[in-house]
C-alpha cells in the first residue's frame, strides 16, 4: 500500500464489534483510515455510543481501543434509493446522485474516524435482494490515494443474491459510474466475511484489509492499462456483456446481452467485414441476455436467455438474416440462460447454463427436421458459469464455480478446473483423470475447438481481475498446454469461430467491454 493511501472500511455493526483489534493495528501502523458502519437495522446509535465509550476507556470489553484518537460521529445518516436517484442525508448534509454522483464518493472519501449509515432495506427487497437494490458503493480505480473496502457476510459472487451495489467510475475524474459485477471487485473492494474465521482469529479483519490492499495495486494498474488498450476491430455500437455472436459469411451477428446497468438488451447488431462497420438489425421480441445461438445454412437459432425479470427463458427463435425477422419455435424443455449450443447433423444440442442462482445440468437436443426436443443424460456435477465445447462428436463440460455441498454450510463457492466428457458412442458422461484437468481454475470463460484442440480463454479465477490466460487441450497428447494470452483479460464474453480463428467479443473487463479480438491456431500448431 502506498504511504499516502487512505482506507475507508465499510462494515456491518456486528462485525465492528469483532474488529476492535483492527482499529488499533491500523492506527498504530500509521494508516489514515475511517470505518463507516452500513446496516439495514436500527442498532447504529447504540453501536456508535459503545465505541465512543471504548475509545474513552469506559468500556471493559474493548481495552485495545482505549486512548485511540479516533473521532466518533454519533449522528446516524440515511441512504435512500429509488429508480431516479440515491440520496444521502446526515445532519445538515444532503447529497443526491441526480445533482452530482461524484459528490457521494468524495463524501465517503473524506470521512474520518467512525460513523454510520442506515441503508434502504425496502429497496433491496423490492429488487429481489440482488445487487441492483443493494447498498451503493462508489469506487474510483483512478484514485490512488483512497481505497474503499466493504466487508459483509452477505456479499456473494452471484449478483442476483448479494447485498452491495458497486459502482465504478470508468474515467479519471468522471461523474458517470457504471454498475460493476461483484466478481470484478471481490477481494479488492468487497470482502465476504467468513464468520467462523472472524470469531476464531483476532487478526481476521486486518488480514482482509491487507489482502485487499495487495489486490488493489493490481486493480489500479489494470484500470490504467485499460485506458491505453487499442482494439483490433471497430468496437460494438452498444457495449454489452452476456451477448451471443454468430458468423454468417462475411457478417458477424451479435444478439442480446446486458448494458452497463445490468439490464437485458433486445438489440441485435451486425458487423460487415467488407464495409468494416457495424449496423443495427431488427431487435428480439423480448430483451434477453445469455442466449445460446447457432447457425445452420444461413439461418440463426437463438435459444433460452434471461429477461428483465431475471427469470430464465425457454424461448426458441429463428431468423433468416436476409429477411431480418425473428420467428418463434417450440419452447425448450428446460428454461435456462448462459447455455452452450452445438450443431451436429440436423440437431442442435443445448448444454449447461443457469436458472437464477442454480447451475443447469440438463443436456437436450432440438431436431430441426421434426421440430421436437429430446433429453440426454445430465451433466454429472453442478457447476455455475462452466463452459462447454464439442470436439470430434464428443461434448466437454469445463471449469466453473463449484457450489458448496449440503453439509458444507460455511464453505464458499470456489473456482474449479473440472473436465467432464460425454461420449456419444457410450451414451454416457465420462469423468477423465485428475491429470487432464485444466491448468487454471476458471469460470465464465470462452470455450471452443480450434486447431484440433479444446480451447479455454479468459474468464474469472483466483485473482482480482478477469483472466487473460489461454490454454488448449490436445486430444492426441491428452494434456492442457498454454497458448498466447488475450490482449484484454475479460469474462462474460460472446464468441464465434471462423476457419482457424476464435473471435472473443465484448464481455467484462473494467466494465462492459467493446473489445473484439481473435485467437489464431492452426491444426497441429
pLDDT tens for each residue of 11-24: 665 555 455 667 77
The residue among 228, 259, 290 that closes a domain is: 228
pLDDT tens for each residue of 357-392: 789 999 999 999 999 999 999 999 989 899 999 988
Asked if residue 330 and residue 222 are part of one domain, the reply reads no
pLDDT for res 123? 96
Would 132 be classed as within a structural domain?
yes
- pLDDT of residue 2 exceeding 90, the answer is no
Asked if residue 506 and residue 447 are part of one domain, the reply reads yes
pLDDT for res 229? 38
pLDDT for res 442? 97
Asked if residue 265 and residue 143 are part of one domain, the reply reads no
- pLDDT category at 8 given cuts 50, 70, 90 is low
The four Cα atoms 83, 88, 94, 100 give a dihedral, to 10 degrees, of -60
Rounded distance, CA 244 to CA 293, Å? 6
Across-strand partners of 453?
450, 474
Would 213 be classed as within a structural domain?
yes
Asked if residue 155 and residue 77 are part of one domain, the reply reads yes
Asked if residue 212 and residue 183 are part of one domain, the reply reads yes
pLDDT tens for each residue of 221-238: 766 655 443 334 677 888
Rounded distance, CA 499 to CA 278, Å? 21
Check: CB of residue 136 under 8 Å from CB of residue 102: no
Asked if residue 271 and residue 222 are part of one domain, the reply reads no
pLDDT for res 497? 81
Would 239 be classed as within a structural domain?
no
Q: Name, in order, each residue with C-beta under 8 angstroms of 350's C-beta and a sequence gap of 6 or more.
A: 292, 303, 304, 332, 336, 339, 340, 341, 362, 363, 364, 365, 366
What is the pLDDT averaged over residues 461-465? 86
pLDDT tens for each residue of 65-89: 787 888 999 999 999 999 889 999 9
pLDDT tens for each residue of 93-128: 999 998 999 999 999 999 989 999 999 999 999 999
Check: CB of residue 413 under 8 Å from CB of residue 401: yes
Asked if residue 219 and residue 307 are part of one domain, the reply reads no
pLDDT for res 204? 83
Asked if residue 136 and residue 47 are part of one domain, the reply reads yes
- pLDDT category at 6 given cuts 50, 70, 90 is low
Full-model pTM = 0.55
Asked if residue 249 and residue 216 are part of one domain, the reply reads no
The residue among 201, 228, 255 that closes a domain is: 228
C-alpha cell at 268: 441485435
Check: CB of residue 141 under 8 Å from CB of residue 174: no
CATH classification at residue 325: 2.120.10.80
Would 252 be classed as within a structural domain?
yes
Structural domains of the chain, count? 2
Asked if residue 270 and residue 208 are part of one domain, the reply reads no
pLDDT for res 405? 64
Q: Say what angle helices 20-28 and 204-228 make with each other, to 10 degrees.
A: 60
Asked if residue 449 and residue 312 are part of one domain, the reply reads yes
The residue among 193, 228, 263 that closes a domain is: 228
pLDDT tens for each residue of 159-184: 888 999 999 987 788 787 888 888 88
Instruction: Look up the domain containing 216 and give its range.
Output: 6-228
Amino acid at each position: 500500500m502506498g504511504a499516502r493511501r487512505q482506507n475507508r472500511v465499510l462494515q456491518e455493526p456486528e462485525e465492528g464489534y469483532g474488529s476492535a483489534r483492527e482499529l488499533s493495528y491500523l492506527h498504530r501502523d500509521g494508516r489514515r483510515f475511517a470505518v463507516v458502519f452500513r446496516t439495514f437495522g436500527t442498532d447504529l446509535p447504540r453501536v456508535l455510543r459503545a465505541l465512543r465509550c471504548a475509545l474513552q476507556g469506559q468500556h471493559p470489553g474493548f481495552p485495545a481501543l482505549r486512548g485511540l484518537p479516533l473521532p466518533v460521529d454519533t449522528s446516524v445518516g440515511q441512504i435512500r434509493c429509488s429508480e431516479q436517484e440515491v440520496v444521502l442525508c446526515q445532519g445538515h448534509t444532503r447529497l443526491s446522485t441526480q445533482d452530482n454522483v461524484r459528490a457521494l464518493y468524495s463524501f465517503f472519501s473524506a470521512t474520518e474516524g467512525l460513523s454510520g449509515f442506515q441503508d434502504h432495506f425496502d429497496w433491496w427487497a423490492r429488487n429481489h435482494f440482488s445487487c441492483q437494490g443493494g447498498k451503493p458503493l462508489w469506487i474510483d480505480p483512478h484514485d490512488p490515494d483512497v481505497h474503499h473496502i466493504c466487508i459483509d457476510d452477505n456479499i456473494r459472487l452471484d449478483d442476483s443474491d448479494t447485498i452491495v451495489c458497486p459502482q465504478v467510475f470508468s474515467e479519471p475524474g468522471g461523474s458517470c459510474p457504471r454498475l460493476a459485477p461483484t466478481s470484478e471487485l471481490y477481494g479488492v473492494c468487497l470482502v465476504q466475511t467468513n464468520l467462523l474465521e472472524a470469531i476464531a482469529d483476532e487478526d481476521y479483519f486486518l488480514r482482509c484489509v491487507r489482502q485487499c490492499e495487495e489486490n488493489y495495486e493490481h486493480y489500479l494498474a489494470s484500470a490504467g492499462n485499460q485506458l491505453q488498450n487499442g482494439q483490433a476491430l471497430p468496437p460494438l455500437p452498444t457495449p454489452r456483456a452476456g451477448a451471443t455472436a454468430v458468423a454468417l459469411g462475411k457478417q458477424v451477428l451479435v444478439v442480446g446481452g446486458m448494458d452497463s446497468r445490468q439490464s437485458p438488451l433486445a438489440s441485435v447488431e451486425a458487423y460487415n467485414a467488407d464495409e468494416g462497420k457495424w449496423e443495427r438489425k431488427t431487435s428480439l421480441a423480448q430483451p434477453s441476455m445469455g442466449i445460446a445461438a447457432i447457425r445452420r445454412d444461413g439461418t440463426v437459432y437463438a435459444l433460452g436467455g434471461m429477461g428483465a425479470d431475471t427469470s430464465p427463458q425457454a424461448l426458441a427463435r429463428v431468423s433468416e438474416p436476409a429477411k431480418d425477422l425473428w420467428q418463434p419455435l417450440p419452447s425448450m424443455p428446460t428454461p435456462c440462460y448462459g447455455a452452450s449450443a452445438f450443431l451436429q447433423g440436423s440437431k442442435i444440442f443445448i448444454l449447461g447454463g443457469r436458472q437464477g442462482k442454480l447451475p443447469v445440468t440438463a443436456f437436450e437436443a432440438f431436431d430441426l427436421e421434426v421440430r421436437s426436443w429430446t433429453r440426454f443424460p445430465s451433466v454429472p456435477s453442478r457447476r455455475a458459469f462452466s463452459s462447454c465445447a464439442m470436439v470430434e462428436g464428443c461434448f466437454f463440460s469445463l471449469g466453473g464455480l463449484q457450489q458448496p455441498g449440503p453439509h458444507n454450510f460455511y464453505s464458499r463457492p470456489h473456482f474449479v478446473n473440472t473436465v467432464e466428457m460425454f461420449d456419444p458412442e457410450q451414451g454416457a458422461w465420462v469423468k477423465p483423470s485428475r491429470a487432464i484437468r485444466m491448468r487454471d481454475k476458471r469460470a465464465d470463460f470462452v470455450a471452443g475447438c480450434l486447431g484440433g484442440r479444446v480451447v479455454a480463454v479468459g474468464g474469472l479465477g483466483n485473482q482480482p481481475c478477469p483472466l487473460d490466460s489461454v490454454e488448449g487441450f490436445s486430444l492426441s497428447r491428452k494434456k492442457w498446454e498454454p497458448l498466447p494470452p488475450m490482449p484484454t483479460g475479460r469474462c462474460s464474453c460472446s464468441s464465434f469461430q471462423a476457419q482457424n480463428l476464435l473471435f472473443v467479443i465484448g464481455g467484462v473487463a473494467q466494465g462492459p467491454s467493446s473489445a473484439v479480438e481473435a485467437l489464431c491456431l492452426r491444426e497441429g500448431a
